[in-house]
Structure 1
Amino acid sequence: MIVALLVAGSAQAGLANVFRIVLQKGRHYDPTDLFLRRGDTITLVNGDDNAVHHAFIEADRFAFDAGDQEPGKQATLTLKEPGDFIIQCGIHPKMKLTIHVQ
Structure 2
Amino acid sequence: MSLLLEEVEDTKDFDKILPVPHAAFGEPYNSLRRWLIPVYTTVEAAIEDAKARHIKSWKQHDGIYPSDESQKPTDAHWHIEGTEEKAFAGKQSSLQT
Query: TM-score with structure 1 length normalisation?
Result: 0.28
The structure with the greater share of residues assigned to helix is 2
Query: TM-score with structure 2 length normalisation?
Result: 0.29
The structure with the greater share of residues assigned to strand is 1
